[in-house]
Amino acid sequence: MFSEVTSHMIYQVINTPIREYPYPHFFNTNVFPQNFYAEIMKHMPEANNYETLKEQGLINIPDDELKKFERRGVITLHDDKIQLIDEGIRDFWLELVKILMSPNFLIPLFVKFRPWIIDEHGELLEIPYTTEISLFRDTEMWELDPHTDQRNEILGLFLYLPPDDSTSHLGTCVYTPKEPGFAVEGATSCFPRKSFNCAYTAPFLPNCVFGFFRNNTAFHGVDYMKKTGEVRNLMAIQVIKK
């Protein structure tokens, strides 16, 4: 089942054109083989397998702001937190993580963004990096204002995992600042949405991927999820410079 996944993913990702404005990014469909995506759907963890961002130690914010962040559940797959997934489906995710963290998949990604990586971080083969992979489960009223991620992140990938196309409006937004030339060195904090325009929203469709090179203008986020019962499942891959 896993033998052809890597070659299929590399083909889909490498052959997708990069949009350079306002920062290098791409969007593509059918990132996994269709039969494999069906297996992912069969192996999705139950809602009670997820923890909040605070429970996983990923945020440190005042208690009066916690309600918003309780609408995002997470299972980090690159550490022992993968044990949260039910034992009957855990081996599937362990095997998938091996694929996504392997040099066979990551090095072609580096090559895809080679000009920008070299300009920002130096020669590809000399960059020490680590990979963090998480499953996210967002529910109604979740939103994420414009931000650029942490300074030492090199690349980010969001693998969309909805069961159908009914929530296409919940994709990742690409923001441009209204203030000309506005940029940040790198931060996990967010900025007011009123200070940005949404230039593009990558549709939240089954088996699709949004990928980007993190730089000081890589503002992205998620619009407000208004409908009761909506769920936004995705896998996030962060390639981080050590």
Lateral strand order in the sheet of 72-76? 25-28, 209-213, 153-160, 231-241, 129-139, 72-76, 51-52
pLDDT band at 63 (very low <50, low <70, confident <90, very high): low
Q: Is the pLDDT of residue 222 over 80?
A: yes
Measured in whole angstroms, the distance separating CA 42 from the mean position of its chain's CA atoms is 21
Range 136-165 average pLDDT: 93
Q: Please give, one letter per residue, the 3-state secondary structure of 8-54.
A: HHHHHHHCCCCECCCCCEEEECCCCCHHHHHHHHHCCCCHHHCEECC
Is residue 159 over pLDDT 70? yes
pLDDT tens digits along 84-124: 999 999 999 999 999 999 999 999 999 999 999 999 998 87
Res. 187: pLDDT tops 80: no
Sequence-distant (6+) residues with CB within 8 A of 238 are 131, 132, 133, 149, 153, 155, 156
* Separation of alpha carbons 143 and 68, rounded Å: 8
Under 8 Å CB-to-CB from 10, ≥6 apart: which residues? Answer: 104, 105, 108
pLDDT at 58 over 80: no
Share of the chain above pLDDT 90, in %: 77
- Give the tens place of pLDDT for each residue, 198-212: 999 999 999 999 999
Cis peptide before 22 (omega within 30 of 0): yes
How does strand 231-241 pair with strand 220-222?
A: unpaired
